[in-house]
Amino acid sequence: MTKVEWVIFDKDGTIIEMDSLWIAWAKNLYANLTVNSDLEIYFSLQTFLRNIGVNDNGTTIDPTSPLAIGSIQEAETIVAFLLYQQGIPWSKGVTLARAASNLATSQQENSKVQALPGIRNLLITLKNKGKKLGVITADQTARAKSHLQQLELLALFDFVLGSDQATSSKPFPDLAYVAKEQFQVSLEKAVMIGDSNADMLFAKNAGMCFSIGIIPSATYPKDYLPDATAIIEAYDESVLTMLIEKE
């Protein structure tokens, strides 16, 4: 069995609780569009949230959706397309979507984030066992670092890379190659932990040794990570067994 040297984490849904953070961001984005004085929005907030990936209950995110997996730039493209469908030229729609998105992001600069149960102890244990740790996320790098700093976890990671650091985000392997070049990550000795199948495909496409998908115990169905090597429901001893060799 290949010895694991690097453990790479996704951020949202893997290190931090995702639903409240990103649903609020999406609602702010929509609100920022509607306050534009020369723009009348023909699609409702509910329609927008459904298109971007918020479940009908309004409190959870579909783990296979753009909001769960995609980058902020991809979310902006969805907004621009909805605007285009109502007759707004593509170039103007892209500009409006980006402005609303940037404002939504800045509106959350002081938002509180919450770590997933058990993640802090896992990171500390892995670090004490000599593992190198990284974060590769669809979020922007500065925002990701800010979230991790707020949780007092940033210092545990050897690097943090967001989707703004490469041309293509997950599942494409571009960010893995950036990690390899800038931080000497041995991809063949790296493991990816994430909550979306894009994370699992990212690990496969980058040539990592295996991937671990986390699906919370209350989440159903549990078939949306078909490319994961292993599935966990929480950060417990089973994760350490997979990542740390018995000596």
For position 131, what pLDDT does the model report? 96
Closest CA to 190 of 207, 171, 170: 207
Under CATH, domain 6-17+114-243 is a member of which superfamily? HAD superfamily/HAD-like (3.40.50.1000)
Predicted local distance difference test score (pLDDT) of residue 222: 75
Give the three-state DSSP class for 8: strand
Give CA separation, 65 vs 54, 60, 78, in Å.
8, 11, 12
- Residue pair 17/202 in contact by the 8 Å Cβ criterion: no
Q: Which of 109, 121, 196, 100 is nearest to 147 (CA)?
A: 109
**pLDDT value at residue 247:** 42
So what's the pLDDT on residue 1? 60
- The pLDDT, as a whole number, for residue 137 is 96
177, 168 contact by CB (below 8 A): no
Low pLDDT (below 50) residues in the chain: 246-247
Q: Alpha-carbon distance 160 to 164, whole Å? A: 11
What pLDDT score was predicted for residue 37?
Answer: 53
Domain boundaries, the chain: 6-17+114-243, 19-107
Q: What is the pTM of this model?
A: 0.87
